[in-house]
Amino acid sequence: MNLLTVFYYIGWALMLAVALAGSWRIVAGPTTLNRMVGFDTLTIAVAAMVGLFSIHAQTAEYMELILIIAALGFFTTVAYYYYLSQQGASSGEDFDEEAKK
């Protein structure tokens, strides 16, 4: 096992830990903004894992997938923040209260 393979497994372990932390923040986040930070973290971790796999496979064919994942994550975050910044937009915290009415 060479040094590159060791760093590959270390990178995977770190990115899996980051993905788990982001997933936990999405599930347990008390506010919508915490869930969006978790979503951003998860998106970055998935793009990094695809990048690590691309390096390990010694191919550049996955670079387009990385760009698509990063762009979708960024545009989703921007669109959701824009939606929350609008006047009268519900932040999702009182969603259950509105559904009961």
pLDDT one-digit tens code per residue, 2-23: 998 899 999 999 999 999 999 9
pLDDT average, residue stretch 11-38 = 93
**CA 37 to each of CA 21, 74, 80: distance values in angstroms, whole numbers, following the listed order:** 11, 11, 12
- The structure tokens 């899996």 sit at 16
Give 55-86 pLDDT, tens digit per residue: 999 999 999 999 999 999 999 989 988 888 88
pTM: 0.79
